[in-house]
Each structure stands twice: as C-alpha cells, then as structure tokens.
Structure 1
C-alpha cells in the first residue's frame, strides 16, 4: 500500500455508503413483503442483550462531537468531485471519515507533519471536510482529485495556515487561472507515486486545498491540471455561499441528532468503535449530499437516494436511512443490497426468527478473507431502512431484531 493511501487510512473509520441503483426495483415497485410492520410481534424478537430503547445522544457529547457536527455542515457545502468534472465518479477510499476537527487534524499528501505539529503551524482550526474522486474504478489507473476545505477561527488564521502549509509543499511554482493569490506547485517527477499539482487558497476564514494526481499522462501537463483546480475552486466558492458558519461560541451547543434518528441506531461499544477505544465516537447524522461523499459510486448512489426521497442518514454501529415514504424503502433496499447480491462471495441466508422481511446475507463457505465479508441484513420499518452487520449469524440476527425494536419504539 502506498504511503499516501496509508496516511489516509489512519483517519477514523465509519460506515461506507456503497450503493448501486437497481433500476428493476424502481420500475417494478420493489418487494412489497418488506412492508409487514403490522404482522411483526416485537415481543417475539430475540434481541439478546442489545439495547432496544432510544438512547440519549446529548449524553454522548465530547470535546469533538460538536466540531464533527460543524464539519458535516461544511461537507454539505463541499462539492463532490463529480460536481466539478462528471468523469470523476469513483472513490476507492472505503471506510474513511471525511470530518476534520481539532482532535482529528488533516493529513496532506506530500507534507510530513509530526504529531500535534499541524495545530502549531496552523492554529485556530474549527472544522473541515475531505473528499476525493478518480476517473477509473481501479486506483492509479487515471487522474485523481483530492480536496479539503477547512474553517479557521479568523480570516487571518486561515491565511497563516495557507502560507505555512504551502511553504512546506515541494515542487515548481505555477498559477491557477483567475486565482493569482493561490499558492500552487507541481512536480512532473515520480514523487509519492506519480506527478501531481497542488494548490492552496485562503478564502475568508476558509483554507481550500486541491491536489490533482496523474499517474498516466506523459508528459505531465500542469496547465491541464490547473484548469481542474480552477474549476474545483470555482465550485467550492459557489457552494460555500450556501454555508452559514455557526458562531464560534455556539458550536458546542449544535444539536447532535435530527428528529431522534441517531438515537434509534445501535451504539458502538469499546470493542467495535472504529479507530479504537481512544478515538472519538464517529456516530452522526449526515444530510444526503454529505453522505454521498462516502460512496464508492456517488453517481449511482445519488440516483438511488433521489428516487427514495432520502433526506438524512444516521450512522453509528448500525445505519438508518430515512426515505420519503414506506413504499420508497423497497427500492432503496434493492439498491443497497445490489452490490451484495451481485457479489460472488456472498449468499443469502435466513432472516431472524419472526422477522421474515429482513434481507440477510453471509460470506459463502470456504472463501478467503471471510472477515472482509461480514454478515449483513437490511430491514425496513415505516419510512426507514436500516443496515445491520454482525460478527456471526446469531449476533447479526440479534442485532437486527434490536434495531427493528428501536425503529418501532414510540412509533
């Protein structure tokens, strides 16, 4: 694994939104058997020792949770790379958190920073967002674009951070059309994998970072890459007009949940929290656009989300998708499970007892790296779809039953 990918992999893990839109489900109306809420007797569901009543999300606040909430608000105002150029429809960065906070500072490819050094040379970080896109499905088979947008406590601090980080970026100077104030460098030599061009721009209290990595173009043409950077800056500046920064003294009081949606997910515990027990809990609510940044195929995910009228996704140890109405959940489940249905390493398995509408799968016997294919179920209740994974089938069934009870609680 290359150094640039390894650095990204150190970020907090979270649930990925891997979707392929199932047109047949949309046109045929989906599986009506999913909607059998009235026939489910929740008293007969075996949920083991998992919680079955909604939790108090406010009690989970830490020094980082409010900053994560503001980071997600920035993510909602950050373009997908395919919004900049519709050829960049892939993202191999699976299971990577996109939030940037003072407790989880950014990593920039090609810049080596010691632990804690970022906050020393770029003080005042409030929150930010990372996104990525590439031309080809396979890594290193085409151009890739990496973007970060980071809010600082003042415009002066954003400018200081921009200059300090640009000063540490090696390469030859270049100019971005219509952005003479941007600090831009490129290298046509093989460094960190392949030639690249990187640009830093201070925009009010925001730092905008764009890096174009090109493993296949020979000779490397910095002007062509600079045009991509210009379009990225254009789109980011445009979308930031829709972002209303939370006043610094109000960030700590940002609501962590939306309509109790996150409270109805199963929580992480110390043994299964992504990144380990010393990391902040990444549980959060993501609006539709922010959620698309996680998907390996955001173009097809967008079609599925739009078709289902999805507005918010709650991500914790389980994932809940809120759709337009109950019939929409059938089509969304068809889209969510399509990659698994088509995956040679998975096979359909029995649903949990007394919960026949759950769609469940497990790794086929004898496959290598079975841990890469954990058992999974999807279940619908009213206008909600939940995705549940487990350590084994028994655990999966109990967790799915608990998740169903959580969805049904108070409804």
Structure 2
C-alpha cells in the first residue's frame, strides 16, 4: 500500500480539449460538487504551474516508442484474462513500457548487462504485464507476459532464438505452438521453479514465464497449459493492435485531446527515480498498473473512463460529471488503508476536495503520504504531496489546470 500511494501520487489533470475549452463559459468561478462555488482566483497554488504546458517541448528520441508501447499495452491481455484466478499484481505502478532505451529484463535468462541489443537487435516497442494468485509474492503461481515488436519478422525470430538459447532448463513442447522455444527448471536453490517460453509471431516476440513456488513436484504439463492459454490470449488481443509504420513512430502525437498538457508536471523533488510514466494511457493499458486489476477495471467501467493522463498527478476522464463521485469513492476504497489514514481538511476555498493523511502516531508515516481527490466537470484528479501544506497547493494548482480555458 505504501508503494502504491507513493508512486500513484506521482503516477497514472486532465482537462477539456481546446475546442471544448473555447466553447466554455467565461466566468472564472466553477460550481463544484453539490453546487459549491469554487472561486478559482482565491485558490492558493503556491509556485506550482497553473497553465497548460507545451507537451511537445518534452519530446525525446524515445517518445514515439513510448506511445507505440502504450498502443501495444492497450492490446495486451491481463493475466487474469488468461486465468481468472490471477487477480493480484504486486508489481503495481512499475513501468510496463519497453523501448530501445528501456529494454526488457528477463528473470532467469543469462543475459549480460547491456547486451540485449546485440543479441536481439531491432526492438521497436513493447509491453510487460504480470499477475499472481495471491496478494503477497511468493505464495502462489505468478505469470509474466511480454509482448515486444521488432523491426521485422526475421528480427523477432532471431530474438526468440537468441533469448531462448540464454534461458537454462529442460526442454518442453507447448500444444499448438511447435515453434515456441520452452524450457523449465523444476528446482532452483533460490527463487521459484519456473517455465519460460519464447515465440515469434509475425514481427512480435511473445514471452511467457510461469513461476510456481508451491507445487511439489513441479508439473511442467500444468505450467505449459498456462503458457498455451497465454499465447492464445496474446495473439487474440494483438488483432486489435494497428502497428504504426516504423518511419512514423518518432512523430506520434504525445498528447490526447490536450489531457496531458493539463496534468501537474513533475518537479525536481518528486521526479521518479525510474522510468518517467508521463503519458496518456487508454483505460486498458492503464489497468495493467493496478495492484487489483479486476477491481480497478470494474470501477473505471462503471464511471465510463476512457483515457487516463499521468504525470505528477493522475487524471481520469469519465463518462460525465455525475460519474466522478462514484469513481472517487471507488478509488478511495481501493487506495486508502482505513487503519492508517484519516480525513484532513480540504485546501482553503476548495471544499469539494477529498483529502487524507497518515493517522497521528502510526509507524512509518512516510509510507502513507497525503493525498487528495478532486472532481471538475467529467474529470477526476488524484494528487499527492510531501506534506499537507504542499498537498493543498498542488491540489489547488491541479484544479486551476483543469479549469483553465473555461
């Protein structure tokens, strides 16, 4: 839970498109939830930005590949769709994006640091996902799935062969997939017995790994059935993926309907130590980050969420304004540990914000940083901060970003 809140506060505000903004009313005030009038000019946003950013100024050589990876993520099934018992993901909020700069790491594969591009050249973009049987790691089976696009079908085949050659274990055959290279390790001194399988499918490399710390003896046939079902679901999902021509990937649009430009950007004090998650994610791609994807998907479906913009804040675009209240209630129930969190005052002049902080006297309060949820029209924003004062200013700034142009 602590990791979820720390990173979600810096993880997955959305605002109106330029067209909608231009058509909005001229007043600078907003009628908030339950008719409360928010006087935007009286909100204390400190030194945080309150006008939409120019997302194009953030473009890097990797930006297009990130967008393509998210497209792949939107077509990648959840592990729970392979087997509905795998409804947990303790990897929540770890980046799922794979690019030539953010290369995949395959547990149990004998790869030397920095040699991926040498033995498996041509990586374009890809996506990683994960699922497990139990809420805590190591107490049940776990499945990893990687879906990686290469520059050609030949490159995908070379990668599958080379990576399989670096994966130790006994060989095994996957039903209906004779071309898959599969090995299993029934016993290891540290970690879990596992099965790993590599399959080239057109210009895509598919990788499925099943870790099984509890089955004694390790049954390769049972694990192979999971691998087969995973390949079935991945290939079915890829029918919904429209690959961008390689020469157009670098110019892919970074924002969607102006959503990302209205998130609160990272600053030097809260920039993530790993991959920067800043992007717009279709709902399906975003749910891969959830620690409880079944519950998260149900909440987003109920609210009619289509896209989620992420930077230092997380913004959800819902079906309509009436859906925001239900979504906030669902997100609070999912994210907050009632034993360790208590409600705190909303920012001054922003009474509709729902804010929480660690209860006084709890151990490890840094694991429970303060958080607020706000709604504006059909948008919900989740805002985190270093302390309550900082949180209030960030929340006010995010509200102003959502209201900008109205």
TM-score between both structures, scaled by the size of structure 1: 0.90
Q: 1:98 aligns with which of 96, 99, 108?
A: 96
CA deviation profile, 1:270-301 (whole Å, cap 9, x unmatched): 3321126xx5x430000010011011111111
Q: Distance in 2 between matches of 1:100 and 1:107?
A: 10
Instruction: Summarize the Cα distance change of 1:98–1:138 in structure 2 as closer, same or farther, 3 Å threshold.
Output: same
Q: 1:327 aligns with which of 318, 322, 329?
A: 322
Q: 1:159: which partner in 2?
A: 157
Q: 1:74: which partner in 2?
A: 72
CA deviation profile, 1:360-381 (whole Å, cap 9, x unmatched): 0001122222111110000000
Q: 2:369: which partner in 1?
A: 374
SS at match of 2:322: helix
Deviates more, 1:341-350 or 1:220-229: 341-350
Q: 2:137: which partner in 1?
A: 139
Within the alignment, does 1:349 sit opposite 2:344 as a pair? yes
Q: 1:60: which partner in 2?
A: 58
Within the alignment, does 1:201 sit opposite 2:196 as a pair? no
Q: 1:213: which partner in 2?
A: 211
SS at match of 2:357: strand
Q: 1:389 aligns with which of 368, 384, 387?
A: 384
SS at match of 1:326: coil
Q: 2:229 aligns with which of 226, 231, 255?
A: 231
Within the alignment, does 1:399 sit opposite 2:394 as a pair? yes
Within the alignment, does 1:45 sit opposite 2:43 as a pair? yes
Instruction: Summarize the Cα distance change of 1:274–1:88 in structure 2 as closer, same or farther, 3 Å threshold.
Output: same
Instruction: Summarize the Cα distance change of 1:177–1:15 in structure 2 as closer, same or farther, 3 Å threshold.
Output: farther
Q: 1:8: which partner in 2?
A: none
Where structure 1 has 5 or more consecutive residues not aligned to the other structure, the ranges are 1-11, 18-32
Instruction: Summarize the Cα distance change of 1:401–1:358 in structure 2 as closer, same or farther, 3 Å threshold.
Output: same
Instruction: Summarize the Cα distance change of 1:55–1:225 in structure 2 as closer, same or farther, 3 Å threshold.
Output: same
SS at match of 1:223: helix
Q: Distance in 2 between matches of 1:341 and 1:106?
A: 31
Q: 1:111: which partner in 2?
A: 109
Q: Distance in 2 between matches of 1:257 and 1:123?
A: 29
Instruction: Summarize the Cα distance change of 1:16–1:315 in structure 2 as closer, same or farther, 3 Å threshold.
Output: closer
Q: 2:291 aligns with which of 290, 296, 305?
A: 296
Larger RCO (CA under 8 A, 6+ residues apart): 2
Q: CA deviation at 1:194?
A: 1.4
Instruction: Summarize the Cα distance change of 1:13–1:119 in structure 2 as closer, same or farther, 3 Å threshold.
Output: farther
When the two structures are aligned, how many residues end up with a matched partner?
Answer: 382
SS at match of 2:52: coil
Contact 1:13 1:97 in 2 (8 A): no
Q: Distance in 2 between matches of 1:242 and 1:340?
A: 31
CA deviation profile, 1:124-152 (whole Å, cap 9, x unmatched): 11000000000111111111100101001
Instruction: Summarize the Cα distance change of 1:37–1:165 in structure 2 as closer, same or farther, 3 Å threshold.
Output: farther
Where structure 2 has 5 or more consecutive residues not aligned to the other structure, the ranges are 1-6, 13-30
Instruction: Summarize the Cα distance change of 1:39–1:120 in structure 2 as closer, same or farther, 3 Å threshold.
Output: same
Q: CA deviation at 1:342?
A: 4.2
What value does the CA root-mean-square deviation take over the aligned residues?
1.7
TM-score between both structures, scaled by the size of structure 2: 0.91
Q: Distance in 2 between matches of 1:338 and 1:104?
A: 33
Contact 2:11 2:310 in 1 (8 A): no
Contact 2:9 2:314 in 1 (8 A): no
Instruction: Summarize the Cα distance change of 1:175–1:192 in structure 2 as closer, same or farther, 3 Å threshold.
Output: farther
Instruction: Summarize the Cα distance change of 1:264–1:272 in structure 2 as closer, same or farther, 3 Å threshold.
Output: same
Contact 1:34 1:358 in 2 (8 A): no
SS at match of 2:234: helix
Q: Distance in 2 between matches of 1:14 and 1:354?
A: 22
Deviates more, 1:266-275 or 1:237-246: 266-275
Q: Distance in 2 between matches of 1:163 and 1:14?
A: 40
